[in-house]
């Protein structure tokens, strides 16, 4: 996976300004980094017997980790098999997927590449009742010099938005979700938080914010 090159920065800026996804970067799933531990942690958060759509499905590594009672539906910018829902999350309007009767949406390291997360989250709240997502949160206050520097570093990684944890949770709250659980994925480069959001009442065994 390519990072911190002029090409990555240019494509990230195009996505941020024009909502144009970096198709060239995501076309070949064989070049993706190893996120298997994160995928395993996310699979543990998916309830049994649910219909699950994975946005940014890539090599579909989540699929074999789900309970056999779950139904898995891959979705990506390009086809990852005949059953793929090909969808550009930066395109507007987004397709209505309610006919698929989805329960859970999984977005592992995907929201960072969405140019307009608020409108995406509002759309998502009408498609599923639960969202499990990982996100590399910012660590600096909004409108600070540190935030500007952090945004520049994130652009080098191809990311097109910058939220700290509080801002991300608020974006989901504004879109119709409530936070019900969190789990951390630890790597040698640091930790990334996995969030579980729900559109309805807090489910049994879950805690609110």
Q: Could you tell me the residue ranges of all domains in the chain?
A: 6-198
Higher pLDDT, 19 or 183: 183
Instruction: Tell me the average pLDDT across 174-180.
Output: 98
Look at residue 204 and tell me whether its pLDDT is greater than 90: no
Nearest Cα neighbor of 111 from 70, 177, 172 is: 172
What are phi and psi for residue 5, nearest 5 degrees? -120, 160
| pLDDT given for residue 208 in this prediction | 41
| Mean pLDDT, rounded, for 168-180 | 98
* Cα–Cα distances in angstroms (integers) from residue 18 to residues 12, 55, 164, 173, 201, in the given order: 10, 21, 23, 25, 36
Whether 86 shows a pLDDT value over 60: the answer reads: yes
pLDDT band at 203 (very low <50, low <70, confident <90, very high): very low
Q: What CA–CA distance (Å, rounded) separates 61 from 46?
A: 14
Could you report the per-residue pLDDT of 8-51, keeping only the tens digit for each? 677 777 777 767 777 666 666 665 666 899 999 999 999 999 99
Report, as an integer, the average pLDDT of 161-174.
97
Q: How far is CA 24 from CA 21, 103, 125, in A?
A: 9, 30, 29
Classify residue 150 by burial, with Cβ atoms within 10 Å: 0-12, 13-18, 19+. middle
CATH 3.40.1520.20 fits 6-198, yes or no: no
Over residues 186-207, the mean pLDDT reads 76
CA 28 to mean position of chain CA atoms: 18
More confident residue, 5 or 145: 145
């Amino acid at each position: 996976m390519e990072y911190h090159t002029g090409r990555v920065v240019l494509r990230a800026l195009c996505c941020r300004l024009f909502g144009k996804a970096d198709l060239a970067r995501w076309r070949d799933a064989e070049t993706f980094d190893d996120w298997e531990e994160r995928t395993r942690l996310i699979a543990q958060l998916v309830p049994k017997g649910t219909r699950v759509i994975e946005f940014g499905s890539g090599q579909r590594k989540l699929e074999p980790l789900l309970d056999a009672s779950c139904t898995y539906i891959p979705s990506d910018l390009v086809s990852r098999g005949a059953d793929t829902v090909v969808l550009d999350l930066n395109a507007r309007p987004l397709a209505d997927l309610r006919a698929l009767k989805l329960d859970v949406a999984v977005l592992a390291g995907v929201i960072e590449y969405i140019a307009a997360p608020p409108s995406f989250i509002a759309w998502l709240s009408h498609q599923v009742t639960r969202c499990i997502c990982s996100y590399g949160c910012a660590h600096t206050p909004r409108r600070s010099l540190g935030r500007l520097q952090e945004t520049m570093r994130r652009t080098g990684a191809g990311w097109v938005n910058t939220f700290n944890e509080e801002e991300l949770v608020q974006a989901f709250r504004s879109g119709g979700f409530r936070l019900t659980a969190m789990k951390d994925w630890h790597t040698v480069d640091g930790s990334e938080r996995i969030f579980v959001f729900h559109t309805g009442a807090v489910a049994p065994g879950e805690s609110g914010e």
